[in-house]
């Protein structure tokens, strides 16, 4: 899994992108205290190469 951060110049925000190589998976979701541990709130999108990615 890779995590990249992009700090915005115009706002006091940091965009975080998760990239997960999971060719055999049908879905990947990110859960944590930031989304109330909700497994339905933060699904990642599957790319053509089998990697899942979400910001």
pLDDT at 42: 92
35 phi, psi to nearest 5 deg: -125, 20
Count CB neighbours of 52 within 10 A. Answer: 21
Q: pLDDT (tens digit, 9 = 90+) per residue, 23-54?
A: 999 999 999 998 999 999 999 999 999 999 99
Phi/psi for 9 (5° steps) reads -80, -30
Average pLDDT over residues 13-31: 95
Residue 50's pLDDT is what? 94
pTM of the model: 0.81
How much is the pLDDT for 39?
Answer: 93
pLDDT at position 13: 93
According to DSSP, the residues that pair with 14 across neighbouring strands are 7
């Amino acid at each position: 899994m890779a995590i990249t951060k992009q700090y915005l110049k115009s706002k006091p925000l940091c965009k975080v992108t998760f990239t997960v190589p999971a060719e055999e998976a049908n879905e990947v979701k990110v859960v944590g205290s930031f989304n109330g541990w909700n497994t339905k709130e933060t699904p990642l999108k599957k790319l053509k190469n089998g990697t899942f990615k979400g910001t």
